[in-house]
Amino acid sequence: MNELAWGTNNDLNDNQFYNRFEDIEFISNLLKSSRYGTSPSILLTGFRGVGKSALMKKIQKNFRDENYLIVYIDLSASNAYQTDEFSRESIIELIYDQIINECREVGITTVDNKIEKYIKTHDVALKEIVNINGYPVPFLWTKRNYKKLANFVMELPQYLYDEYDENINGIFLFFDEFQIIKELGDDLTDFLWYMRSFIQKQNNVSYVFSGSMSVKDSLIEEIAGSNGAFGGRILTIEIKPFSYETTKNYLNDNAEYLKFTKDGFDQFYNCTKGIPFYINIFGNLLPRNVNLDSDSVKENFIKFLPVLAMHFSNSWFRLSLQEQKILTTLLDESLNRSGIAKKLRVTSGAIGRSLNRLQDNGLIEMENNNYCIPNFVFKAWLKNEYETKGVYPYKSI
C-alpha cells in the first residue's frame, strides 16, 4: 500500500517516492551523456525540504540497476564533521572511503589490487596497507603526503572508469549536504578551484552537488556564479515544490484517510506550500478519517508548529541573543543592514558578524538588497510563540 514517508526519511521506497518523473528523466539523460565523453556537472538547488536528497537517492538506485557506479558522498557523514575537525583532508578521506564502499557494493572486488598497483606506480606514500576481509586497503594517510594523496583520490574516479570500462557504464559522484564545505572558511574558494581542476579533465565522470542551500545561498555564487569555481561549466537545476494538483494527487494516492473539504485542502496547500517535507509531516500528524475543513487544518497547523519547525527551533536555541533579535526584526518586513541596526539601536558595524552567521546557516537571505527570513514555517513558529506566550523565546541573559 502507498504511504506517506516520515519527513526526515529521504531514502524512500517506491511506494513512498512520488512524481518527479521529469526531473529524473532530465537529470538521468544528462548524466548518461558521460558515456560519450561529455560529462556534465550539475548543481541541484531548491527550498529546504523540497526533496533534493530523496531525488538524488532515487536516481542513484535507478542507475545502480543499469551498471553505473554512483558514489553518494554525504559530507555530514564525515567523522571529522561530527567531531568539529572538518578539513580538506577529511573531505578527501570521505570521498575515498565512499568510492571504495560503492565498488564493493556493486561487486567490483578487484579494485583494491588495482589501487595498490596504482599507488605504487604513482608513488603515493601511504602509511600502510592493511588487510580487511582479505582485501588490501590503503589506510591512514599522513599529513605529510596529503597533497599527493588528494590528487590520487581526485583522479581515482576517471581511473576506475578507464580500468572498468567493460563493467561499468559510467561513474557519478553525488555530493550531498555540500553546504558543509563552508566550514572550510578561508580554504573554501581554494578547495573549490582545486576540485574543479580535476573535474574538468574527467571526460567520463559526472558530478552532482546539492545540499541545504536556498537558491540565494552565497555558496551557489561561489560554485556556479560567473566568477565561481564552476561558473559557466555547471548546470544549475532548481527542484520545485509539488504543484497544487500534484499535492492533491499525491495525498489521494498515498493518504486516502485524509478527508479534506475543498477549502480544507486549499488551506493545507497554503500551509505546506507544496514542500514534501511539510506535506509528509503535517499529513502524518493530521487526524484521520475525519472531515478536515479550512479551520481545522489551520488549528492543527498551529498545534503542530513546534514539530513542523523543529529544525529551525533547534537552530534558534543555538543562536546568540543578538542573532535572535535580528531575526525578530525581520518577521514582518525585509530590512537592509542599517535598518536592522537602527531597530536594535546599535551601529551597522556591530551586527556584521551576526548577519554573516545567520546567512551561512540559511536562516536569512538577501532579497533586493534587503535581508529576509525565507522559511515560512520558521516565521510562523516564531510569531506563534510570541502570540501565545507574549514574548519571543529569547536566550535568557
Ligand X SMILES: Nc1ncnc2c1ncn2[C@@H]1O[C@H](COP(=O)(O)OP(=O)(O)OP(=O)(O)O)[C@@H](O)[C@H]1O
Piece in contact with ligand X (CB under 6 A), picked from 4-12, 261-269, 282-290, 327-335: 4-12
Say how many CA atoms lie within 13 Å of 301 toward its Cβ: 24
Instruction: Indicate the burial class of 272 (C-beta count within 10 angstroms; 0-12, 13-18, 19 or more).
Output: buried
Interacting residue with Mg ion among 53, 280, 324, 375 (CB under 5 A): 53
Piece in contact with ligand X (CB under 6 A), picked from 7-15, 118-126, 192-200, 365-373: 7-15
Instruction: Indicate the burial class of 396 (C-beta count within 10 angstroms; 0-12, 13-18, 19 or more).
Output: exposed
Cβ 336 to ligand X shortest distance, Å = 27
Q: Is 9 in the site for ligand X (CB under 6 A)?
A: yes
Cβ 210 to ligand X shortest distance, Å = 7
Local structure of residue 313 (DSSP, 8 states):
H
Instruction: State how far the Cα of 45 lies from the Cα of 47, in Å rounded to an integer.
Output: 7
Strands 128-132 vs 135-139: parallel, antiparallel or unpaired: antiparallel
Cell of 267: 488551506
- Look at the block and give the residue holding cell 536562516: 363
Q: 9 is in the binding site of which of Mg ion, ligand X, none (Cβ under 5 to 8 A by kind)?
A: ligand X
Piece in contact with Mg ion (CB under 5 A), picked from 25-33, 53-61, 267-275, 320-328: 53-61
Hey, which residues between 41 and 70 contact ligand X (CB under 6 A)?
46, 48-54
Cβ 311 to ligand X shortest distance, Å = 7
Q: 38 is in the binding site of which of Mg ion, ligand X, none (Cβ under 5 to 8 A by kind)?
A: none
Nearer to Mg ion, 53 or 322 (CB): 53
Residue 368 sits at the vertex; the CA angle it makes with 266 and 309, to the nearest 5 degrees, is 45
Contacts with Mg ion by CB under 5 A: the residue count is: 2
Cβ 26 to ligand X shortest distance, Å = 15
Which residue type sits at 315?
S
Q: Which residues contact 102 (CB under 8 A, 6 or more apart)?
A: 69, 70, 71, 72
Cβ 53 to Mg ion shortest distance, Å = 3
Q: 189 is in the binding site of which of Mg ion, ligand X, none (Cβ under 5 to 8 A by kind)?
A: none
Hey, which residues between 197 and 236 contact ligand X (CB under 6 A)?
212
Nearer to ligand X, 55 or 199 (CB): 55
CA separation, residue 260 to residues 74, 251, 256, 396 (Å): 38, 10, 10, 42
Q: Which residues bind Mg ion (CB under 5 A)?
A: 52-53
Q: Which residues bind ligand X (CB under 6 A)?
A: 5, 7-10, 12, 16-20, 46, 48-54, 212, 276-277, 280
